[in-house]
C-alpha cells in the first residue's frame, strides 16, 4: 500500500461497498459453519455407532 | 480478494459484489439439472446409502458442478461479454473479477471432490474430479473455441452426474449408469444445435465455432435429426434392460416420437428462415423431454421402493 508522509493511504469505502463487504463476510461465515456441520454429520452417518469403538 | 488495484488509473477499487453474484458464477440453472439427474442416479442404484450421506453427496456433486461453471466463466469472460445470452453474467458486468472467479472455482472444486470422495467413495470422487476437469479444461479451454463438434464431446461433462450419483451409492460404474449417461450425452447436441440455429449471430460475434456457423444450417439440421433418432432409441433402453418399468417405457416412446417430430420439423425448415420457430420449439421441448424422462424414472423407482416397504 502506498505511503505518504509515513501515513498509510486509506481507502474510504462507500456505503454500498461496506454493505457488500459485510454481506460477503456473513456468507463466508455461514458457508464455513455449514461445512463444519456437513463434515461432522457426514462422519457420524458414515461411521455410525462404530465411531468410538475403533482400536486406538 | 475484494480490493483491486487499478494500475492504469492508479485508482483503488473496492468490490461491490454480493454473495448472489458469486452464486450466479455457479450457473444455478445448470446446477439444478445436475442435482436432479444425480439424485435419480442415486435412487435407481441397487444398494443402500445413509440418507444424510446421500444428501451431502448431492450437495457435493452440485457444488462440484457449480465450480466447473465458475471456471468456465473465468475462462470464457471475453466470449460471454459479446453474447447477448451471457453478457449479464457477473464477470462481464464487472461485479466479479476473473481472478476472483478462478479462485472461487478452484476452491469449490477441491472441497467438493474431497467431501464426496471421503464421505462416499473415491470412484464417485474421481468421477466428479474428472467431470470438473472435462468441463473446465477439455470443453472450455480446448474444444469450445477449436471445433464445431465442441458440444458433442463437451456434452459428456453434463452427462456424468447420474453416473456419479450411481457410483456414490454402489462404488462402481455399471451398464445402467452408462445408459443414463448416454441419454444426456446424446440429448445435448440436438438441444444445443437447436439453440445455436436461432442464436447463430451470437456465436458468430463471439467467434465460437458452432455447427451452424461452420458446416451450415442444412448440415446442422441433418445432424439434429440423426442424433435425435439415436437418442430416442437409447432413451427407451432402460425399460427392456429392466431398470425402468412400463410407465417409463411408454413415456420414452411417446415423448421420443414427439422429439423426432420436432427434429423433422427443424430438418424441413427453410434455410435462412428468420423466425426459426421449429428450432425454438424443439429447444423448448428438449428441456421438457429430458426432465420428463428422468422424472418418470424417479417416480417409478420411488413407487416400487414404497411398495416393497
Can you give the pLDDT of all 309 residues of chain B as single tens digits? 445 544 444 455 678 899 999 999 999 998 999 999 999 999 999 998 999 999 999 999 999 999 999 999 999 999 999 988 889 999 999 999 999 999 999 999 999 999 999 999 999 999 999 999 999 999 999 998 888 888 888 889 999 999 999 999 999 999 999 999 999 999 999 999 999 888 877 777 887 888 888 888 899 999 999 999 999 999 999 999 999 999 999 999 999 999 999 999 999 998 877 788 999 999 999 999 999 999 999 999 999 989 886
Confidence at residue A53, expressed as pLDDT on a 0 to 100 scale: 67
Is A32 among the domain residues?
yes
Pick from B3, B12, B17: which is nearest to A20 by CB?
A: B17
Shortest distance between the Cα of A50 and any Cα of chain B, in A, equals 15
CB contact under 8 A, A20 and B18: yes
Residue among B291, B64, B290 nearest B185 (CA) = B290
Judge whether A36 is closer than 8 Å to chain B, CB to CB: no
Is A43 among the domain residues?
yes
Residue among B16, B108, B15, B32 nearest B70 (CA) = B108
Length of chain A: 56
Residue in the block written with cell 456505503: A15
Confidence at residue A55, expressed as pLDDT on a 0 to 100 scale: 66
Residue B270: partners with Cβ closer than 8 Å, 6 or more residues away: none
CB atoms within 10 A of CB B281: 15
Confidence at residue A10, expressed as pLDDT on a 0 to 100 scale: 78
Q: Give A41's contacts in chain B (Cβ within 8 Å).
A: 52, 56
Could you please report the per-residue DSSP string of chain B? --EEEETTTTEEEE----HHHHHHHT-HHHHHHHHHHHHHHHHHSSS---HHHHHHHHHHHHHHHHHHHHHHHHHTHHHHHH-TTTTTSTTTTTSS-HHHHHHHHHHHHHHHHHHHHHHT-HHHHHHHHHHHHIIIIIIIIIITTT-TTHHHHHHHHHHSHHHHHHHHHHSS--HHHHHHHHHHHHHHHHHHHHHHHHTHHHHHHTT---HHHHH-HHHHHHHHHHHHHHHHHHHHTHHHHTSS-HHHHHHHHHHHHHHHHHHHHHHTSPTT-SS-HHHHHHHHHHHHHHHHHHHHHHHHHHHHHHHH-
Instruction: Look at chain A and report how many structural domains it folds into.
Output: 1
Pick from B14, B19, B115: which is nearest to A23 by CB?
A: B19
Is A28 among the domain residues?
yes
- Kindly provide the ipTM of the predicted complex, given to two decimals: 0.79
Pick from B14, B15, B53: which is nearest to A42 by CB?
A: B53
Q: Give A27's contacts in chain B (Cβ within 8 Å).
A: 19, 22
Is A55 among the domain residues?
no
- CATH topology (fold) of B16-173: Tetracycline Repressor; domain 2 (1.10.357)
DSSP secondary structure code for residue A7 in this structure: E
Confidence at residue B1, expressed as pLDDT on a 0 to 100 scale: 43
Judge whether A41 is closer than 8 Å to chain B, CB to CB: yes
Judge contact between B135 and B68, C-beta under 8 A.
Answer: yes
**What are the residue ranges spanned by the domains of chain B?**
16-173, 174-309
Confidence at residue B13, expressed as pLDDT on a 0 to 100 scale: 67
Confidence at residue B8, expressed as pLDDT on a 0 to 100 scale: 47
Is A6 among the domain residues?
no
Confidence at residue B200, expressed as pLDDT on a 0 to 100 scale: 76
Judge whether A17 is closer than 8 Å to chain B, CB to CB: yes
Is A41 among the domain residues?
yes
Is A10 among the domain residues?
no
- Could you report the per-residue pLDDT of B64-83, keeping only the tens digit for each? 999 999 999 999 999 999 98
Residue in the block written with cell 454481506: A23
Upper half-sphere CA count for residue B27 (Cβ side, 13 Å): 21
Q: How far from the centroid of its chain's Cα atoms is residue B297's Cα? A: 19
Range of the domain at A38: 20-48
Q: Which residue of B has its CA nearest to A17?
A: B16
Q: How far from the centroid of its chain's Cα atoms is residue B232's Cα? A: 18
Q: Give B114's contacts in chain A (Cβ within 8 Å).
A: none
Confidence at residue A48, expressed as pLDDT on a 0 to 100 scale: 76
Amino acid at each position: 500500500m502506498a505511503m505518504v508522509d509515513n501515513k498509510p493511504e486509506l481507502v474510504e469505502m462507500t456505503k454500498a461497498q461496506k454493505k457488500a463487504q459485510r454481506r460477503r463476510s456473513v456468507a463466508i461465515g455461514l458457508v464455513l459453519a455449514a461445512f463444519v456441520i456437513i463434515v461432522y454429520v457426514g462422519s457420524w452417518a458414515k461411521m455410525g455407532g462404530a465411531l468410538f469403538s475403533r482400536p486406538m | 480478494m475484494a480490493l483491486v488495484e487499478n494500475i492504469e488509473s492508479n485508482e483503488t477499487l473496492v468490490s461491490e459484489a454480493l454473495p448472489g453474484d458469486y452464486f450466479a458464477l455457479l450457473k444455478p440453472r445448470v446446477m439444478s439439472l445436475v442435482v436432479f439427474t444425480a439424485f435419480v442416479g442415486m435412487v435407481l442404484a441397487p444398494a443402500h446409502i445413509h440418507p444424510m450421506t446421500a444428501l451431502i453427496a448431492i450437495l457435493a456433486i452440485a457444488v462440484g458442478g457449480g465450480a466447473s461453471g465458475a471456471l468456465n466463466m473465468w475462462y470464457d469472460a471475453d466470449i460471454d461479454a459479446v453474447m447477448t445470452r451471457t453478457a449479464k453474467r457477473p464477470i462481464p458486468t464487472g461485479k466479479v473479477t476473473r481472478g476472483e472467479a478462478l479462485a472461487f472455482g478452484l476452491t469449490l472444486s477441491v472441497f467438493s471432490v474431497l467431501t464426496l470422495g471421503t464421505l462416499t467413495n473415491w470412484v464417485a470422487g474421481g468421477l466428479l474430479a474428472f467431470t470438473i476437469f472435462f468441463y473446465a479444461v477439455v470443453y472450455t479451454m480446448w474444444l469450445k473455441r477449436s471445433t464445431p463438434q465442441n458440444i458433442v464431446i463437451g456434452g459428456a461433462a453434463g452427462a456424468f452426474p447420474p453416473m456419479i450419483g450411481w457410483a456414490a451409492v454402489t462404488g462402481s460404474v455399471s451398464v445402467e449408469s452408462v445408459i443414463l449417461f448416454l441419454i444426456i450425452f446424446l440429448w445435448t447436441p440436438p438441444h444445443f444445435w437447436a439453440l445455436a440455429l436461432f442464436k447463430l449471430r451470437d456465436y458468430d460475434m463471439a467467434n465460437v465455432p458452432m455447427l451452424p456457423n461452420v458446416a451450415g444450417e442444412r448440415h446442422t439440421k441433418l445432424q439434429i435429426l440423426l442424433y435425435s433418432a439415436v437418442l430416442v432409441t437409447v432413451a427407451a433402453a432402460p425399460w427392456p434392460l429392466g431398470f425402468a418399468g412400463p410407465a417409463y417405457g411408454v413415456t420414452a416412446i411417446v415423448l421420443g416420437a414427439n422429439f423426432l417430430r420436432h427434429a423433422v420439423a427443424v430438418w424441413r425448415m427453410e434455410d435462412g428462415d428468420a423466425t426459426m420457430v421449429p428450432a425454438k420449439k424443439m429447444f423448448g421441448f428438449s428441456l421438457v423431454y429430458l426432465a420428463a424422462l428422468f422424472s418418470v424414472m424417479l417416480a417409478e423407482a420411488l413407487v416400487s421402493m414404497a411398495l416393497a416397504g
